[in-house]
Structure 1
Amino acid sequence: MDGSKVFSTNDTGPVADAVKQHWVDTRLPAGLRPYARLARWERPIGWWLLLWPCFWSAALAAVAGGKAWPDPWHMVLFFIGAVAMRGAGCTYNDLVDVDIDSKVERTRSRPIPAGQVSRLQAKIFLVVQALIGLAVLLQFNTYTIWLGIASLLPVAVYPFMKRITNWPQLFLGFAFSWGALMGWAAAFGSLSWSPVFLYIGGICWTIGYDTIYAHQDKEDDALVGVKSTARLFDEHTKPALILLYSCATALFFLAAIFADAGPAAFIGILAGVIHLGWQIVVLDIDDGDQCLQLFRSNGTYGWILFFGFFADALIGAL
């Protein structure tokens, strides 16, 4: 029965597309592994993609405020919050999508459809992670707290969007780019045009990288009726990515301009263009393994932009 043995699990092995020989599977006690897989701890790219807009925004706030670097305490909080809330989001998504996941080759080995974790166990784990996220959020100023609470709306609606629109990646962008607002708000207790441009640019970037990711599942998605921009763009994915990544780059330029950034920030953005262009040039939408690797490479893109913004803050404060 769903409510019995709340913390017992049936660990039948890692998820199909998980990182092989990860510490989750080699070092964690067997009973904890399914929960780690629910939170996607073996796939850190997810929380990095959630974290980067926070870090970018915090770095641009340092530039605008004439500081040499972002507030270190805020950076620690953003890191903990990103890991906790990404895990909570994945757990929530798996609870909503269990019927779909059981029909898709890549996802049917996830903990809930595979029977490693019951729905009740997953709900308890979701609450624990959400409480950690709340504890982190309460460390910020009042404006940022309310802004963080508002982020729950796009998080809540995202899992349902693949059922009703060809643009679920847009709603993922609403949720995953929210940190672009949070970093600035944490520093100033308000928002301005710079974080708004950063947020909209982050949405364009998210649609792009998650379109690449969604090409892994397009055949199964078509069979079960799941919609995505990968299916929508299809053979026109590369032109769509050119448009999306160009818009993201232009908006990041505007964010830097309105933060009164110097040359280092713009050099970082231009260096990022090279990386995004490489993704588009080499992309093979019919090679699922390559799509996954290119998706993960967006973690590198995050570093590129952050180093540019961070260097600009450091140089500007000298």
Structure 2
Amino acid sequence: MKFTYYVKGFECESCARVISRVVSSFPGASLTEANQYTGAITIECEPEDEKQIIQAVREKGYSLSTQPLQTDYSAEKSPLENGKNYVLGLFEGKHGFQVEQSLLQATLLSFLLTIGAEVLASIILNIPLENYKWLFALSAVAVSANAFAVWHSIAYRKEFTCMNGMMVGMALGMMTGFMVGAVVAASNGMFVGSVVGMLFGMAIGAYTGYCCGIMGVLEGLIAGLMSGIMGAMTTIMLLNDHVIAFLFILFAACTVVLAGLSYMIWKEAGGREGKAKLPSGLNIVAANVAIGLILVLIMVYAPKGPLAWAGFGG
């Protein structure tokens, strides 16, 4: 029996080969037709195998529907209009932005709580806040900005195409590793900054890229590996040349990139009621603050190299 579905994320012949291999792994099943322009595929299989085959294709990172995909590109809005709608929906409480609004509220709250927890920790643990205040502020920015994008990707990861998932894994692995590596290197030097940046970047990159299989995992691992070292290296090279001012500029640029990634997630998979899977706001805030405090403990108590900013002024 033949079944027709429409695949979002059907980009080229390679996608057809991937889907064909998945379908052919079921006895007697085959992919009889695949049109990359309309996204239509026709599967010939036993009726009892249909659901299992569709689930297997979805696990490869493809979104399937029984309805034809939107092909009237003249009716699509421009990127500028979509970006404006996203910003307005995020801040004005428009319908279809519940996930994004909840995440924004949780992120802002966790940023404030992280700053408060860092100040409290400095009092309890007798940490010289004068030396660490700017680094603590930067670490709170790094955690909050990346956390918003990470939780946003987790909410819609089952709706991503293979290409979406690879982009998410690469971008989050790169931004997380770069920002964490840069701020930790300022307090602890090149070695610790590189190691910590790599660990955070590779872990986040692999986890968020896992939704589209091994390609997404590899994208995330490679991005985290490179960015952790590059972030630390950037800080060390600028130690004697307004490093803190540059880090604020750098983190602002990274936040713009993460905002663009969040927009991409919303455009490709967002606004679908009942599709998002997100933990409670309390769990999100607790996780964000916990990660912020872990970074504080690393910056204060991890070994310090011969070149580090914290404790030396400027």
**Shared fold per TM-score greater than 0.5:** no
TM-score, normalization by structure 2: 0.37
Greater Rg over alpha carbons, structure: 2
TM-score, normalization by structure 1: 0.36
Normalized per residue, which structure has more strand? 2
